[in-house]
Amino acid sequence: MAPYYLEAYVVVLGLVLLMLEAFGPAGRKQYLGLAAIGGLVFALILLVFTEREIPGTNAEMTRFYVIDSQALFYKFLALICTILVLLLTLDFRRILSEFTENPGSEDGTGEYYALPVFACAGMMWMASAKDLVSLFVALELVTITFYILVAYMRRNVGSLEAGVKYLILGALSTGFLVYGIAWVYGTLGTTDLAVISTMLADPGAAALADRRIPLLFGLALILLALAFKIGAVPMQLWIPDVYQGAPTPTTAFLSVGSKAAGFIAALRILEPFLQSEFARAQTVFILLVLAALTILYGNLAAIPQSNFKRLLAYSSIAHAGFILLAITAWHGDPEGPTLTSGEVVGFYLGTYLLMTMGAFFVLVVVRNATGSEEISAFDGLACRNPALALTTAILLAALAGLPLTAGFYGKLFAFQLAIDSKLWWGVALGFIGVAAGFYYYFKVIRAMYWRPAASVEPIEIPVISRYALFTLTLLTLLLGIWPQPVLWLLQG
């Protein structure tokens, strides 16, 4: 099967779900969620059996569609992430239904199971995009879906506010992206990233010397738009408010899926610039500034937070900073003594998915039980449900980057690349960030174990969350001892 049928399949799946929602029986909408999950699991199976190259009969496709081990890995991430988000939604549906059509009934929740499938298709396409235009289209598919998902709880003011903020800033960043692409196209006469790569790598790029400023200007505009997607400084301001206001599954999807898609786009766009002598120094400089500021902002601003969801928002900014650091310290040679930046970013995002999705599952369980998302809702969790507290402690320790958890390696690899590239400022600020990270993640662990519980009533974990949390935590620990499998996946 040709690889691009996979995206087509996922889009069709989404359309079928929408039809089912519109014309199917009213009432219990969670069957739509189960159908979506089933369909995506089938897509995972298809992913294993797709061909690894584009058939010769459709050579035109190769101009804007690439299928390599990296693309496959990010498609895999997108599918896994969407499946987890849908599972999370099933446990979240009671809260969701309170703020939609006919509060308390599930009448208004149907589309919420179909929309993530479209976003998933966009992310999968983005993983394969090698042309600025196809990349833009894929990105917009994701973003427009998210406009709806963020504001989905339309009877909740917080969700609406988040939706408006996301819409305005998202539209702004789309504008930057198109404008940047226009500048690059105007300078180089192409939007094909492979062609751009050869043009920049060509030692005769001297012909481009007088066009360096417009090219870099275009790149800077594109970077701004990407910073919006990955949640990096200077486009990070929307994150805390939107994350806090959006329905929790959307927040999880934003902070993992959307971010991963943003990073694969960033890798594809930046690679030609970082590989070439022509623009490397300037690109590295801009990226280093962005990475350092993102690490500092995310970690330091997280310290005073008292709301767990907001804390996770700042933590997602902080993680974006560490991943940017790995890109800044560009290593492109797969045969070299260190991992390549692409591998490090993929690894980081893969482990980040496990830990962050786990944290959101915990949040939904706690929200269901206590009705609150504040850190104080975690007080005395160790007495109310020791297993949940232990799981949360492991996941947070992993997010903080403690050794023997998967979270440690991502940071280790990023620092290793940065040290190897002698980015001392990045390394120094990174360590400050890690130290601050210990502080704010341990604040939650402290609440769970040291504080007395507000009520002694035990907390029940719903079945789906129980298995999901168990699997995610187990993987976090296993990959903490043996991380090589993720790298094997990444290397094909």
Partner 1 sequence: MIVLLILIPIAAAIAIMAGAPARPAALGAALLNLVLGAIFALTFTGNPDDGGLTIQILEKPNIHLALGLYDGMSIILMLLTVIVTFAAVLSGRCPEGTERIWFPSTLFIAAGALGAFLSTDLFFFYAFHELALIPTFIMIGMLGRGDRKEAAWKITIYLAFGSIVLLAGLLWLVNAAGADSLLFDDLLASTIPADQQKGIAAFLLVGFGILVSLFPFHSWAAPAYASAPAPVSMLHAGVLKKFGLYGLLRLYPMISEGLQPWLTWLIVLLLGNILWVGFVTINQKRLDLMLGNSSVMHMGYVFLAIAALIAAGSESANPIAKPAAIVLMFAHGVSIALLFGLSDRIERKTGTLELRDLGGLAKSAPSLAFLFGLAGLASIGLPGLANFAGEVLVFLSGFKEFADDPAGGLGPIQVATILSLWGVVISAVYILRAYRRTFQGPVVTATDGARDLTFAERIPAVFLAFFLILPGLYPNTLIQFMAHDAPSAEPPQIVHDADRPPLGIPRWSPGEGSMLTEH
CB of 352 to partner 1, least distance (A): 18
**Segment interacting with partner 1 (CB under 8 A) among 151-159, 171-179, 205-213, 445-453:** 445-453
182 lies in the site for partner 1, by CB under 8 A:
no
490 lies in the site for partner 1, by CB under 8 A:
no
DSSP bridge pairs for 129 = 65
419 lies in the site for partner 1, by CB under 8 A:
yes
382 lies in the site for partner 1, by CB under 8 A:
yes
Residue choice 5, 58, 482, 492 for contact with partner 1 (CB under 8 A): 482
Residue choice 438, 460, 462, 489 for contact with partner 1 (CB under 8 A): 438
29-62 burial, b at 16+ Cβ within 10 Å, e below that, comes to: bbebbebbbebbeebeebbeebeeebeeeeeebe
Helix (H) or strand (E) run with residue 129 in it = none
Residue closer to partner 1, measured from CB, 177 or 396: 396
CB of 201 to partner 1, least distance (A): 25
Residue closer to partner 1, measured from CB, 293 or 412: 412
Residue choice 2, 95, 487, 489 for contact with partner 1 (CB under 8 A): 487
For the chain, give the number of residues.
492
Residue closer to partner 1, measured from CB, 252 or 402: 402
Strand, helix or coil for residue 131:
strand
Residue closer to partner 1, measured from CB, 273 or 440: 440
420 lies in the site for partner 1, by CB under 8 A:
yes
CB of 300 to partner 1, least distance (A): 15
Residue closer to partner 1, measured from CB, 189 or 336: 336
Residue closer to partner 1, measured from CB, 244 or 416: 416
Residue closer to partner 1, measured from CB, 213 or 481: 481
Q: How many residues bind partner 1 (CB under 8 A)?
A: 34
According to DSSP, residue 451 is labeled: S
Rounded distance, CA 362 to CA 89, Å? 13
Strand, helix or coil for residue 67:
coil
Rounded distance, CA 21 to CA 66, Å? 34
Rounded distance, CA 94 to CA 104, Å? 8
CB 123 within 8 A of CB 43: no
Contact pattern for partner 1 over residues 310 through 349, marking x by CB under 8 A = ---------------------------xxx----------
Rounded distance, CA 427 to CA 118, Å? 38
483 lies in the site for partner 1, by CB under 8 A:
yes
CB of 383 to partner 1, least distance (A): 9
Residue closer to partner 1, measured from CB, 13 or 339: 339
439 lies in the site for partner 1, by CB under 8 A:
yes
Question: 97-100 — which CB contacts under 8 Å span 24+ positions?
Answer: 98/155, 99/153, 99/154, 99/155, 99/156, 99/159, 100/152, 100/153, 100/154, 100/155
386 lies in the site for partner 1, by CB under 8 A:
yes
What is the rounded radius of gyration, in angstroms, for the C-alpha atoms of the chain?
22
Residue choice 376, 446, 471, 474 for contact with partner 1 (CB under 8 A): 446
Rounded distance, CA 314 to CA 485, Å? 29
**487 in the Ramachandran plot: left (φ > 0), alpha (ψ -120 to 50) or beta?**
alpha
**Segment interacting with partner 1 (CB under 8 A) among 96-104, 235-243, 284-292, 386-394:** 386-394
Hey, which residues between 388 and 407 contact partner 1 (CB under 8 A)? Answer: 390, 393, 397, 402-404
246 lies in the site for partner 1, by CB under 8 A:
no
CB of 349 to partner 1, least distance (A): 18
Contact pattern for partner 1 over residues 11 through 50, marking x by CB under 8 A = ----------------------------------------
Residue 437 exposure: Cα atoms within 13 Å on the Cβ side: 29
Q: Which of these, 333, 356, 342, lies nearest to 486 by C-alpha position?
A: 342
425 lies in the site for partner 1, by CB under 8 A:
no
Structure tokens at 466: 């129980």
484 lies in the site for partner 1, by CB under 8 A:
yes
**Segment interacting with partner 1 (CB under 8 A) among 125-133, 234-242, 274-282, 483-491:** 483-491
CB 450 within 8 A of CB 331: no
358-384 burial, b at 16+ Cβ within 10 Å, e below that, comes to: bbbbbbbbbbbbbeebbbebbbbbbbb
Question: Residue 286: which residues within 8 A CB-CB, separation 6 or more?
Answer: 220, 223
Which residue ranges make up the site for partner 1 (CB under 8 A)? 337-339, 382, 386, 390, 393, 397, 402-404, 408-409, 412, 415-416, 419-420, 427, 431, 434-435, 438-439, 442, 445-446, 449-450, 481-484, 487
